[in-house]
Structure 1
Amino acid sequence: MGLFGSDRIYKPNQREVEEARIALRKARSKKGRAEVEASSANVVQRLVERLLDVGIDGVGRFASAKDLAARIEKKSRSRERAIRRVRNRHVKLARAGGFASGLGGVTTMAVALPANVVSFFTMATRMVATIAELRGYDTSRDEVRAAVLLTLSGQESDAILKQAGLGAITGRLAQSAGRRLTPGALMLINKAVGVHLLRSVGTRGVGRLFSWVPLLGGFVGQAMDGRMMRRIAAEADEQFPPVD
């Protein structure tokens, strides 16, 4: 077993892949956000629950954020060095997953892309949560978990917070972790983040439609997923400043 649990790409089960396939189809609907919100409530809920359960709490040999943070901090000279190791490793895992998903070109995309979507966002959630743990946040708290999810949504976070009745946060998302959020607000945040991720899934799929050729599609997927994971890592680094 490697430092990062199984030290491999997270592999979703058949049910997760099927749900991601359905999500992709709905996210590409011409009806847009209203279509996703109205007809995909269960898909959104399961997606968010899975990100929280697996991405933050871990499953099997896929280490939880808390365990990973403790393990890697012991083998690093400082917390910031540990964070760099977490970021770099997850970017490498994302690039490997992106390459594998696009390797077969259009002939395998229908199966490989949904699996990659679940894998990517699960690993991204764990990366953000691990950075939060290393910076002194408790990812067992609902408010911190909501902030982790909001980090995945990037520039959409202000709009999501407004939908939840919280208003835009001036400064860092981690400030929301200091607020006591009601169950209703948490539910609205989770739903809005889930909808945003589904829509971004559709964009990722459309982008990869240009990579029809086997092997070439692998390099396109590798570049896209590596760049996106780096962007999320940068967002996490900014949004979760050290507590102490």
Structure 2
Amino acid sequence: MGVGDFARNLVPAARNAPQAAGGAMRVLLELGIDGFAQLPGAKAVAVKQLQKHGSVDAAIDALVLNHVALSSAQGFMSNVGGVLASIVSIPGNLAGLSVLQIRMVGAIAHLRGYDIDDPRVRTGMMMCLLGGDQVVRLIEKGLLPSTPMAVATAPVFDPDLDRRVAERVVREMAARVGGTNGALLLTKRIPLVGGGVGAVVDAATTRQVGVFAGKELRRRRSLT
């Protein structure tokens, strides 16, 4: 089962059935972490960059830059068709962006010594997709118990928290990709111009997520 099986219904589900959307998002995130078809998983890209650059910090910098470029490319292609393509492009854009961003976060976590097969770590990784400012706001409101690192290193896995995080992530990402901002949504519906806007927005959010994950997921152990 691939990304396309979930993409078409993800944004409507985010609005009308958050539990179903959270479940679909959870599968997309697992595809990003584990890899599928021709897309290598998080561990594979982490090891490749570490071998290429020789240090964890340099590998993380390269990972973020690479995924920013990939997000920009897929953002342009998903939005370039303008309003006639929006029914298909918005869910596809959301799915593609989710897979790329969680793969980036998973690779960072792996390089920092986390077991990314551990469900606690995966919950923490999903939280990173919200971005630092949003995580702080949700903690202050009592909607999240703590930071992504604290959740990733918690004594036990909390399945209810994992579900709530998945639902929150899909709502936040659907709002970004769907363009709840009126001016942004209108601009994204203009052919060609919309592609450029999509590329810039997706690249910017991916960079924010990568920088936050790199700061938040501090080193646990040496990577072997």
Q: Deviations over 1:221-243 (max 9, x none)?
A: 11111111111111111111122
For 2:163 and 2:3, the matched residues in 1 are separated by 24
What is the Cα deviation at residue 188 of structure 1?
3.2
Aligned ranges 1:1-244 → 2 under 5 Å: 12-13=3-4, 15-23=5-13, 26=15, 36=16, 39-51=17-29, 53-154=30-131, 155-158=133-136, 159=138, 162-163=142-143, 167-169=145-147, 173-179=148-154, 180-203=156-179, 206=182, 207-244=184-221
- Give the length in aligned residue pairs: 215
Amino acid at match of 1:68: V
How big is the shift at 1:197?
Answer: 3.2
Cα distance in 2 for partners of 1:153, 1:101 equals: 21
Q: Secondary structure at the match of 1:63?
A: coil
Deviates more, 1:121-130 or 1:54-63: 54-63
Q: Give the deviation of 1:105 after TM superposition.
A: 1.7
How far 1:102 sits from its partner (Å)? 2.0
Residues 90-115 of structure 1 show CA distances to partners (whole Å, capped at 9, x for unaligned) of 00011111111222222222222211
Q: Secondary structure at the match of 2:26?
A: helix
Q: TM-score, normalised by structure 2?
A: 0.85
Once structures 1 and 2 are overlaid, which stretch shifts more, 122-131 or 214-223?
214-223
Q: TM-score, normalised by structure 1?
A: 0.78
Question: Would the alpha carbon gap of residues 215 and 124 (structure 1) be closer, same or farther in structure 2, given more than 3 Å must change?
Answer: same
CA RMSD of aligned residues (A): 2.3
Structure 2 unaligned residues grouped into runs of 5+? none
Deviations for 1:108-145, whole angstroms, at most 9, x for unmatched residues?
Answer: 22222211110011100000110111111110111110
Distance 1:201 1:224, change over 3 A: closer
Alpha-carbon displacement from aligned partner over 1:161-211 (angstroms, at most 9, x marks no partner):
9446xx334xxx212222123333333333333343344444368523223
Distance (Å, rounded) in 2 between the aligned partners of 1:140 and 1:236: 17
- Give distance in 2, aligned partners of 1:192 and 1:219: 27
Identity %: 26
